[in-house]
Amino acid sequence: MPAHRIKIPIGKPDIGEEEIQAVVETMKSGWVSQGEKVEEFEISFAKYCGAKHGVAVNTGTAALHIALAALDIKEGDEVVTTPLSCVATTNPIVYQNAKPVFVDVDPVTLNIDPALIKRKITPRTKAILPVHLFGHPVDLDPVTEIAEKHGLYVIEDVAQAHGAKYKGKRVGTFGHISCFSFYADKGITTVEGGMALTNDTDLAERMRMMRSFGMDESRKFHHPILGYNYKMSDIHSAIGLVQLQKLDHYIQSRRKNIEYLRERVNHPELTLPTEQDYAFSVYYVCQILVKKGRDRIVEYLEKNGIETRPFLSFIPEQPIYRKYEYNLNEYEIARNANRTGFYVSNSPLLSDNELDYLASTLISFFK
């Protein structure tokens, strides 16, 4: 391991002169709130993903909220989803006074296990909300088949999987609505922001109303439905438009990083990200499962300048979700992954020296 330690943060946005210039030009234009740049970003991002409509909002959480609200998910309804994710996945379900119903995850992908969904469907079930965790696509065919059989909506959470593909087709186009985040560490960033995609024109119009106080865009200050203040600004969209041009390069870099780390860090105590036959993963981060001693490895990495994060949240165990009295034993794989996993940076900005240092530090722990 090199004597001079390299600092490797979890991630940092790739904000260059193009993004800065786009912001300056937008600010000089005299229009900085939701306007033409937002519309341009919506059209461009929807086209990239293969969807008809994009509805830009101020966060990925807001995208999920307007998706659920537009589908009329309400009190007494149930939404089947994963217990292993950022809590932002499930909070909007609770905003609608509906109940998140959890299904354990696949032990390899750590995504929701489609084989377990059927047993959780009740007359109150209205939707399935799969999360493409860490940039690896969910096995979507069985999910959509179950939804069609039972007349359920599918809402894809694509916050970590911009550009990922399932059987050659980009994720975010399989559900009734899909939701993206453009937070600072995501596949591309608008600093803060999100977007909902759909092929349904009526749903798109409804979500556009909801993000702007429920206002009818053809009649100023006329509010036929309940809405929110979830708008994205032209400044944020200007950044997103530049970032979108870089997305394919970012994906290529992330995939090369993981390929390198898998070759270098081949140790029986560690499991690094892999890719299923049906999937084209974008490897949002480098997630690692540890057979034993995770906390000691994390401490060692942190002491050597490598920032880490735990595996997001085991949501049913969070204090605000205990009121539902979930049986935590039903989610053993997710709970175990949460306790034995962590992740490190897979930034497309990682240099060869940084990748080598990351690999060498992981290996040196076991010497």
Please confirm, yes or no, whether 186 is among the known catalytic residues. yes
Q: Torsions phi, psi of 140, nearest 5?
A: -85, -30
Report how far residue 180's alpha carbon sits from residue 193's, in angstroms, rounded to the nearest whole number.
9
Report how far residue 250's alpha carbon sits from residue 242's, in angstroms, rounded to the nearest whole number.
13
Catalytic residue among 47, 118, 186, 231: 186
Query: How far is C-alpha 253 from the chain's CA centre?
Result: 19
Supply the DSSP symbol for 342.
E
CA dihedral over 307, 311, 312, 316, signed as positive or negative: negative
Residue identified by tokens 């140790």 is: 267
CA dihedral over 64, 69, 70, 75, signed as positive or negative: positive
- Strand 177-181 vs strand 153-157: parallel, antiparallel, or unpaired? parallel
- As annotated, the active-site residues are 186
